[in-house]
Structure 1
Amino acid sequence: MSSNAAQLPSTYKGLLFASASVPPTITPIPTPKLEHGTVIIRPIYSWIFNYAADIYTNGNPRNYPIQFPVVGGLNGIGRVAAVPPDAGSLKVGDLVVIDPFLKQRDGVHTVNAMALGMAEADHGTWGELIRIPLENALRVDEAALQKRNISLKDLAFFSQLVPPYGGLRDVALTAGETVLIAPATGNFGGAAVHVALAMGARVIAMGRNEAILAELKVLAPGRVDTIVLSGSVEADVANIARYGPVDVFQDWSPPMATNKAHIRAGILSVRPGGRVSFMGNVKDFEIPYGALVYGGLSVKGTLMYTRDQALDLIKLIETGTIKLGPEAGLATNGVFKLDEWEVAFELAAKEAGAGRAVYFAPNQDLI
């Protein structure tokens, strides 16, 4: 199979972060060599996560293990620019989702995010090209998208939808069950509401942002109930009980969470024999041991998702099972060129809520 590697430029432009203490620059980067087991992609849209500024700038206050210099960006969608001789069905021009997690080929659970400057990874998706492992390029049936009027911009929401899908699959959420999601007003928690509805579940969404909770409630009238977090275990348990019983509780608590009453309330609200999905990043939490034992609860911690789960979610999108676009409550609030990084970071932090996204478009000609 022809790789078309010879047609690639010798360099490409990338948003290069020399360190977390100086502003990034648009820098010519040597085009990576195409090797067996890898593929080179031209990113079209890459999600700017709301905490990007606290990873790549501001001195990296989150203390992520980044090895600078690095071109930022974790995920996105793009088109195949070059394929190796050992590629199977993937070909140049194919539309793909870029899976940003490197799985151990001889292991099971450990994953490493690309573009954090890890030794195992090349630069990230905030550039005109990116080289990734062949198995990390997940092909999308573009004809199926066109049939359902799904735009490339809408498809880019995949990056927010796939982590909660992995967690809900891990606890075997089934149609007709009730899932409690908290907090549900952030990007991933809000995406979990969309995914759970597509899986046929009823949702109880908890959060502090009442405006976003109202938006979630109208996604599926009669199937979404909302609760404002109180900060009190007893009050939250009482409020949840109005809509119970709860089959599954999925938690998305961020590392900065100080009041974890909702986590305890969520666990205490799960029916006997129910399941708990931990997908957040809290530092410490005291588990209600007795509730787990006497309730016969199953607890599953999930770090993102598997490749098979990502492929299954692509099928849900291609078949229209999960809806995308503004009419589905998923809105793109900004698309930026790489040199607009500062305003893009600011907007991404501001729009850190359910159903919202801000993107870089490194290859404007592909939009």
Structure 2
Amino acid sequence: MLCIKNGMIHDMVSREAYEGDILIDEGKIIEIGTGIDVMEGTELYDASGKDLYPGFVEAHCHLGVSGYGIGFEGQDHNEMNDICTPHLRGIDSFNPMDPSVYMAARAGVTCVGTGPGSSNVLGGTFMAVKTTGKRVDSMVVKDPVAMKCAFGENPKRCYRDKNNFARMSTAAKLREMLLKALDYRERIEAAGDDLLKRPAYDMKLEALLPVLDGSIPLKAHAHQANDILTAIRIAKEFKVRMTLEHCTEGHLIADELAEENYPCAVGPTLTHATKFELQNKTFDTPKILSEAGCMVSIITDSPVIPQQYLPLCAGLAVKAGMDPYEALKAITINPARHLGIEDRVGSLECGKDADIVVYQGSPLDYSSSVELVLIDGRIIH
């Protein structure tokens, strides 16, 4: 049992912080209050003059599947031999021993949504995972959390000499796979218990059934405004759930996105505009979308921006005019909701995982420092 005493608690439930204690047992927060009485033998940590935040959460990255350093061997986030690979699972590429995982943890990034990249129209499933451990199976918070799909330049570029030269082709391929999955499901249902009438097992189509029944959303990589709206068009056409990833030109259609009410993960913004579709990149985007009423998460898209700079990206959004509380929500409770794991992480509440970051100052101020990081109640930094 551990009690963090006298800290300024930013619980991401209330806008205003308050001074108090947090009592932790068996990896969970069991009490939050002032002057908590503790049992004999309870470990105490005096956080007087320090600020307590939930562990930071990223809604979209490739941590652990895109290795630290340069070279083919560590890059396991894109399968380049097939444009539609919904049957692939990010968990099977994740390397807990990659140095970038611990770098994230010691910076207070305690949980991430990670998985396949955006080369393919359908890339496979994302998972939510903690950033400490030796075996991914014991690090997983939820698997799967989403099915990755991609629009725009990446599928065009990666398969331009094969079978995908235009945005029309990308949209058509996604529709084709969803239509095949619908047909596959109907044939299974029509066959009932008669195994002889069931369609031949198809691993790709099986992987899309959770998307069709609403168990997981499509996780739609889209930068340009027209690609974002194409993703929405297809999601509505097939009546499936969806989250919007990157949203680089989201500020140009903020009113449309607020009306549609899809979760928006914005970034990576702290980079050059390395592609045509990034020409309108700006740190104004999180502010504009948030003020329009969208649920905004800020992302690094690690390794595009190193995972440990997630709080820095939130700070730069504040510098561009974003409300500081909304910026903190964008790296805590909003990404937790984006991933569907808000019952476990993203805020400091009784019953949730004891993922806590103790700061000397604010994470939005990069001159501040991390004093302590807990994941599942264990001090890891």
| TM-score bucket of the superposed structures, by smaller chain | under 0.3
Q: TM-score if structure 2 supplies the norm length?
A: 0.27
Q: TM-score if structure 1 supplies the norm length?
A: 0.28
Higher relative contact order (CA 8 A, sep 6+): 2
